[in-house]
Amino acid sequence: MTDRFELVVPGLWMVRSRVSVTNSGVWLEEGMACLIDPGNTADEVAQIAAFVQEQGGRTTHVVLTHAHWDHALGVQAFPGVPVVAHASYPGEIERDGEVTLRFLVKNKLVDAATFAFPRPGLLVNGEMALPGQGPALRLIPTPGHSADHLSI
C-alpha cells in the first residue's frame, strides 16, 4: 500500500488520486499527522488513514487547499479532526455547492443523502502557523487557482 506514497521532502508524503489529477499530502512530524486534501474515493481515503497508522501517526488536522470538489471529498472519513481552510472557503461552497453536488451525484462520486461539504472549524485570513498540537506548518493564503486557495 505504501508504494503509492512518495516522500517529497522529509516529513511530507504525497499520493495521487486515481479519479482526478489531484494530490493528497500527509505531513508527519513526531507521531502527528496533518492531512492535506485527503483523497477522493473511499479506498483512497482508507489508504491515507492506513498509511498514517502504519507510520505510527495520529491525525491532528485536515487542511483543505481550496473548495473544489476534488480536494474536499475525503474529509468525512476523519470525524472530530479539526478542518482548516481559507476564510473565503464558505463563500465558495455557498456560490458553487449546489452545481458541484449535482455533478458529484451524477458521476456517482457521492451519495446526496449522506454527503455534506466540509465545514472548517478554523478559517485562515492571513499567514499563520497551524494551531495546537500537530506538525509545525505555516498556512499562507495564495489566491490564484481559486479565490480561497491556501498553501502549506
Domain boundaries defined on the chain: 2-151
C-alpha cell, 67: 473548495
Global model pTM greater than 0.85: yes
Q: Which CATH class is domain 2-151?
A: alpha beta
pLDDT tens for the chain, 152 residues long, are 456 899 999 999 999 988 778 899 999 999 999 999 998 888 899 999 999 999 999 999 999 999 988 888 889 899 999 999 999 999 999 998 889 889 888 988 888 888 889 999 999 999 999 988 778 899 999 998 899 999 99
Half-sphere exposure of 56 (CA within 13 A, CB side): 4
Quote the CA–CA distance of 95 and 101 in Å, as a whole number: 12
Q: Give CA angle at 39 (70, 32), nearest 5°.
A: 130
**Residue recorded with cell 476534488:** 70
